[in-house]
Amino acid sequence: MDKMVLRRMEYYGYHGVFDEERKLGQRFYVDLELELDLQEAGTTDDLNKTVNYAEIHELIKQIVERKSFKLIEALAEYIASSVLGTYTRVDALTVKVTKPHPPFDIHFEGVTVEIRRTRKRDGH
């Protein structure tokens, strides 16, 4: 299966278990790996035969910046279901959400969750 990968999209969101995270907000990174057939788009040079990654970026921006989740697991799940629900050409995807500076009194680079979801096709 062919892939389209959007790496380290950066957004400012209000997600977290702690009240101050949901009030003050923080930066989040999202990586998205889409599995879809890109051959027709590649041979015809037609945007209508693929997915528009600028539109996907905007969809994810609206989710990350306008919604609020306690868990980044829930944010990743919502992104996955929204992309699969909007773009029927996508057969499967992997969503990775990174919180680079979680509010802990320990030092580490960040925390990331990664999920993979597939489209449920009739008869398969």
Catalytic residue status for 49: no
Phi, psi of 69, deg, nearest 5:
-125, 150
Catalytic residue chosen out of the listed positions 23, 61, 67, 99: 99
Spatial separation of the C-alpha atoms in residues 77 and 116, rounded to whole Å:
9
- Sorted by sequence, the CB contacts under 8 Å of residue 54 that are 6+ apart come out as none
Q: Which residues are catalytic?
A: 99
